[in-house]
């Protein structure tokens, strides 16, 4: 058994991952779009993140770029390959592991996948859901992408961090769709997707991606949520 996941975390760092966290998924796995009998095999999820290249993001202004499109695809490839390697590492130690693809969308209109990587990341203590509807890490902002591995390895679960965006509204100011609102729960998914379709229709990129709010989010002005009472 790994001591608090430290051995596993070290292995993921050796593979080039930037973020590592463990979530207790016993209360949320019923929401996964995975066969119930499959999901019930796992009570932990390992959330892994890879930092995006600043130089690629800096090239973005008010729309995605071909450079960002290529980078996005390469990072997804890295995440999926890395998740496979880490899952094999777990299996070789006698436990089950199921890697969930970094960017396999089941329904683009509803923007649903097998599970929410950002929600697993939040439960893993890697960040909070920001105004931009993305996971925000206090060190990386939203400048990273995630992948998830479900497992029955007896790992100690991390806890969500109690932070929020504070006074920062950089993502609201730059959103080309006007989809980002004051509160994360009011994020306009339809407006966002319509803008993504526009970018694709104009042949700017050949996938439903943007990157503008990703570039804008540094996470540096985050504040700790004060407990009532």
User: pLDDT tens, position by position, for the chain (229 residues)?
Assistant: 446 589 999 999 999 999 999 999 999 999 998 999 999 999 999 999 999 999 999 999 999 999 999 999 999 999 999 999 999 999 999 999 999 999 987 776 666 789 999 999 999 999 999 999 999 999 999 999 999 999 999 999 999 999 999 999 999 999 999 999 999 999 999 999 999 999 999 999 999 999 999 999 998 777 887 664 4
Q: Is residue 21 part of a domain?
A: yes
CA distances from 173 to 134, 176, 178 (A): 16, 9, 8
Q: Please provide residue 208's backbone torsions phi and psi, each rounded to the nearest 5 degrees.
A: -80, 80
- Report the number of distinct structural domains present in the chain: 1
Q: Is residue 31 part of a domain?
A: yes
pLDDT (0 to 100) of residue 1: 42
pLDDT (0 to 100) of residue 109: 65
Separation between Cα atoms, residue 22 and residue 149, nearest integer Å = 10
Q: Is residue 20 part of a domain?
A: yes
Give the DSSP per-residue string, the chain: --STTHHHHHHHHHTT-SEEEEEE-TTTGGGSSS-HHHHTT-SEEEEEEEEPPHHHHTT-SSS--HHHHHHHHHHHHHHHHHHHHHHHHHHTTT--EEEE-TT-EEETTTTEESS-HHHHHHHTTS-EE-TTSSEEBTTTBT-EEEEEEEE-S--PPP----EE-TT--HHHHH-TT----SSGGG--HHHHHHHHHHHHHTTS-SSS---HHHHH---TT-EEPPPP-
Name every residue whose Cβ is closer than 8 Å to that of residue 174 and which is 6 or more positions away in sequence.
Answer: 62, 212, 213, 215, 216
pLDDT (0 to 100) of residue 108: 66
Q: Is residue 42 part of a domain?
A: yes
Which structural domain range is residue 121 located in? 6-224
Query: 107-144, pLDDT tens digit by residue?
Result: 766 667 899 999 999 999 999 999 999 999 999 999 99
Q: Is residue 1 part of a domain?
A: no
pLDDT (0 to 100) of residue 227: 62
CA distances from 214 to 31, 136, 149 (A): 26, 9, 23
Q: Is residue 154 part of a domain?
A: yes
CA distances from 42 to 21, 91, 226 (A): 16, 13, 33
Of 177, 164, 178, 148, nearest in space to 217 by CA: 164
pLDDT (0 to 100) of residue 2: 44
Q: Is residue 229 part of a domain?
A: no
């Amino acid at each position: 058994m790994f001591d608090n996941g430290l051995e596993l975390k070290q292995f993921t760092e050796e593979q080039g991952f930037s973020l590592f966290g463990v979530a207790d998924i016993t209360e949320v796995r019923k929401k996964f779009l995975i066969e119930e009998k499959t999901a019930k095999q796992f009570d932990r999820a390992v959330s892994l993140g890879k930092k995006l290249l600043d130089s690629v993001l800096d090239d973005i202004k008010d729309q995605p770029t071909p450079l960002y499109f290529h980078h996005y695809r390469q990072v997804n490839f890295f995440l999926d390959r890395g998740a496979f390697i880490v899952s094999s590492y777990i299996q070789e130690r006698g436990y089950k592991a199921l890697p969930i693809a970094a960017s396999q969308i089941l329904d683009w209109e509803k923007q649903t996948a097998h599970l929410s990587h950002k929600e697993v990341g939040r439960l893993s203590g890697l960040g909070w859901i920001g105004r931009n509807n993305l996971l925000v890490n206090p060190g990386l902002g939203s400048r990273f992408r995630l992948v998830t591995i479900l497992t029955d390895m007896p790992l100690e679960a991390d806890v969500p961090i109690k932070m929020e965006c504070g006074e920062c509204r950089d993502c609201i100011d730059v959103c080309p769709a006007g989809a980002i609102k004051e509160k994360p729960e009011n994020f306009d998914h339809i407006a966002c997707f319509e803008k993504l379709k526009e970018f694709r229709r104009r042949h700017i990129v050949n996938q439903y991606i943007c990157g503008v709010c990703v570039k804008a989010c540094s996470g540096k002005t985050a504040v700790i949520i004060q407990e009532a009472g």
